[in-house]
């Protein structure tokens, strides 16, 4: 046990930890980084924000952590308005930023200074520091300057440092970037452990295996809009009866091939293309395969790669980002 | 009892900025000025001041010089915190933007006062005596504090606007040179100076700090020094306002 989740000492209530309604934010008054985002985060859950780079995930995190004020819309964090009660909110949250953030000193001192900044009593701060250094495999590098260590080690220091203080909600912005498989799992398990003890987590990632492993619910965000939001199970169930076909065309006009194929498959399937490859989601893979074969003969296209498989969260992501929320609703 | 946020920020600033290398430069460089210039120029200078000794003349100047060093500490802290992500990290923590700003200003003042005290100690080691009265110490304290706030504010302003490391360092070096050498830190204002330099001397806040500290140090404080101090206080308030405005509007990171 590292710290003490604040929820265990404060009234938990049934109100959402985060409530966002029609949030919009623009950095340049021309393009909206957030464009009508609405969602809630429930107490004690791990809420995932999935999206490509530049989709709006970090902007959303910045808004929820009071670093920026949304241009319009309603946002409540722990029942408070970030524009009015920013400091009160920040006392009850933790944030691991996507970018590096360190003091120009040793790993150990980074943790000590952070504990001091959060007002953790010295003895308790030392106890937590030792626990975290061990847990995140930082003991051997504790005397090294934070700027001299590797990218993965830096990430571990940043995450470990955030657990120095108590919090009700933890915002993790792509926390596993640069971590090896073992450390990634250690981190995710540490988060899970804290969630079991009452912590609420908002977690952004573009690694969908992680989202599958950690999140209770997830929203797919793209170009500032939430395309789909549901529990991980439901998201996968949306495509329960469907299969995914991966297809690569080796010669000829692949764009035309995919366009004709999509027409032939009709509304029962969705085709997401990328160059000369496509991912086809269909309820009837047999029929789709026969149409692919027929079309390849008609157009003289050579099939370089063809694979039929079960759906993953990645397919949910690809299809929602590729076609917008409507196709998912139809599915 | 919970330690106030401001004190915790100042403590953090001191902890992360007082590695031996930085301290040697911050304190060692002005001390070297005192030793090398104090003895080196004695032969060629017969400047005014107590005992007609250039070292005696230079001591309050170098004490005043600390306010510029303190200012650069403040500006560099903001610059580094923004560059290395700590500003946004702190502002997503339990601190407000203003607390962070005042934390830096207070740290600059402490560096200014601490540096001046060390210079006084070095001067005592070199001269064997320090002719400073308790009241004079109060004036020195006030002048160094006001000067540290002025130069801290100025460097914060520059730091809030400049995003490139090279640009920030170049501006800092240029500013240090002009401010230090177009002031009465090293030599008195002379009528033989070209008019441009004379004007520069007279509008330079470091001149006001140096004159007040020197006046208090040698017991020769004049009405002009008091007037200059009032101007310094007005300039300090103005630069603090401008720097706070620029800082409050600036990005918290370079993303």
In chain B, which residues have their Cβ closer than 8 Å to the Cβ of A117? 8-9, 12, 90, 93-95
Q: Hey, what's the torsion of the CAs at A230, A236, A237, A240, to 10 degrees?
A: 160
Of the candidates B11, B89, B95, the beta carbon closest to that of A97 is on B89
- Does residue B254 lie within any of the structural domains? no
CATH number of the A241-310 domain: 3.30.70.100
**Could you give phi then psi for residue B26, rounded to 5 degrees?**
-65, -45
Mean pLDDT by 10 residues, chain A (331 residues): 53 76 89 92 93 87 92 95 93 92 92 95 95 92 91 90 95 87 86 90 85 90 89 74 82 85 84 85 85 88 85 70 42 30
Q: What residues contact A237, with CB distance under 8 A and at least 6 apart?
A: none
CATH topology for the A6-236 domain: Rossmann fold (3.40.50)
- Does residue B255 lie within any of the structural domains? no
- Does residue B210 lie within any of the structural domains? yes
In chain A, which residues have their Cβ closer than 8 Å to the Cβ of B255? 99
Q: In 3D, which of A135, A134, A158 has the Cα closest to residue A146?
A: A158
Number of domains in chain B: 1
CB within 8 Å: B90 and A65: no
> Is the model's pLDDT at B36 over the cut of 70?
yes
Which of B92, B96, B100, B248 should one mutate to test binding to chain A, selecting the residue with the greatest count of A CBs within 10 A?
Answer: B92
Domain region containing B208: 5-249
Whose tokens are 């600390």? That residue is B66
DSSP string, A11-65: ---SS-SEEEEEEEEESSSSSEEEEEEEEEE-TT-EEEEE--TTSSHHHHHHHHT
pLDDT tens-digit map of B230-251: 999 999 999 999 999 988 888 7
- Does residue B26 lie within any of the structural domains? yes
Q: How far apart are CA A263 and CA A269, in angstroms?
A: 10
What is the pLDDT of chain B when averaged over all its residues?
86
Provide ipTM, 2 decimals. 0.84
- Does residue B113 lie within any of the structural domains? yes
Q: What residues contact B22, with CB distance under 8 A and at least 6 apart?
A: none
CB within 8 Å: A102 and B86: yes
A273 three-class SS: strand
Q: How far apart are CA A233 and CA B80, in angstroms?
A: 45
pLDDT of residue A323: 47
Which of B22, B89, B90, B255 should one mutate to test binding to chain A, selecting the residue with the greatest count of A CBs within 10 A?
Answer: B89
Q: What residues contact A307, with CB distance under 8 A and at least 6 apart?
A: A245, A246, A247
Q: Hey, where are the domains in chain A? A: 6-236, 241-310
Q: How far apart are CA A141 and CA A322, in angstroms?
A: 43
């Amino acid at each position: 046990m590292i710290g003490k989740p604040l929820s265990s000492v404060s009234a938990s209530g049934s109100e959402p930890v985060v409530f966002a309604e029609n949030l919009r934010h623009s950095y340049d008054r021309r393009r909206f980084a957030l464009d009508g985002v609405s969602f809630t985060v429930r107490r004690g859950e791990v809420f995932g924000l999935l999206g490509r780079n530049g989709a709006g995930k970090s902007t959303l995190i910045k808004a929820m952590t009071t670093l920026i004020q949304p241009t319009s819309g309603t946002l409540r964090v722990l029942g408070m308005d970030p524009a009015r009660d920013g400091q009160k909110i920040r006392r009850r949250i933790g944030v691991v930023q996507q970018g590096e953030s360190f003091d120009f000193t040793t790993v150990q001192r980074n943790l000590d200074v952070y504990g001091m900044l959060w007002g953790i009593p010295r003895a308790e701060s030392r106890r937590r520091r030792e626990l975290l250094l061990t847990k995140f495999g930082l003991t051997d590098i504790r005397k090294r300057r934070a700027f001299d260590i590797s990218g993965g080690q830096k990430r571990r220091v940043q995450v470990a440092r955030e657990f120095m203080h108590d919090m009700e909600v933890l915002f993790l912005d792509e926390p596993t970037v640069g971590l090896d498989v073992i450390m990634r799992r250690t981190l995710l398990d540490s988060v899970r452990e804290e969630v079991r003890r009452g912590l609420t987590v908002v977690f952004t990632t573009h690694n969908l295996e992680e989202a599958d492993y950690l999140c209770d619910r997830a929203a797919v965000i793209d170009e500032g809009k939430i395309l789909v939001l549901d529990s991980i199970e439901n998201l996968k169930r949306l495509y329960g009866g469907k299969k995914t076909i991966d297809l690569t065309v080796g010669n000829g006009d692949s764009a035309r091939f995919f366009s004709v194929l999509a027409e032939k498959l009709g509304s029962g399937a969705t085709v997401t293309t990328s160059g000369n490859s496509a991912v086809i989601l269909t309820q009837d893979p047999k029929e789709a395969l026969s149409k692919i074969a027929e079309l390849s003969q008609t157009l003289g296209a050579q099939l370089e790669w063809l694979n039929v498989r079960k759906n993953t969260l990645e397919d949910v992501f690809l299809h929602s980002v590729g076609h917008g929320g409507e196709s998912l609703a139809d599915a | 009892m919970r330690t106030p946020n401001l004190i915790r920020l100042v403590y953090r600033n001191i902890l992360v900025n007082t590695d031996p290398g930085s301290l040697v430069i911050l304190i060692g460089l002005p001390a070297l000025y005192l030793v090398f210039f104090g003895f080196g120029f004695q032969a060629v200078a017969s400047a005014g001041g107590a005992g007609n000794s250039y070292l005696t003349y230079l001591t309050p100047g170098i004490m005043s010089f600390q306010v510029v060093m303190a200012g650069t500490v403040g500006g560099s802290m903001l610059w580094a915190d923004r560059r290395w992500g700590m500003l946004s990290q702190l502002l997503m923590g339990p601190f407000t933007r203003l607390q962070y700003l005042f934390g830096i200003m207070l740290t600059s003042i402490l560096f200014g006062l601490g540096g001046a005290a060390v210079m006084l100690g070095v001067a005592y080691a070199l001269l064997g005596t320090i002719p400073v009265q308790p009241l004079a110490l109060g004036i020195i304290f006030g002048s160094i504090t006001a000067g540290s706030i002025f130069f801290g504010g100025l460097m914060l302003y520059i730091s809030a606007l400049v995003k490139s490391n090279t640009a920030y360092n170049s501006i800092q070096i240029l500013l240090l040179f002009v401010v230090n050498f177009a002031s009465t830190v090293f030599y008195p204002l002379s009528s033989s100076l070209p008019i441009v330099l004379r004007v520069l001397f007279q509008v330079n806040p470091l001149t006001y700090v140096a004159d007040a500290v020197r006046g208090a140090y040698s017991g020769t404080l004049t009405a002009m020094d008091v007037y200059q101090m009032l101007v310094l206080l007005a300039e300090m308030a103005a630069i603090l306002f401008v720097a706070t405005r620029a800082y409050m509007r600036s990005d918290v990171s370079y993303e």
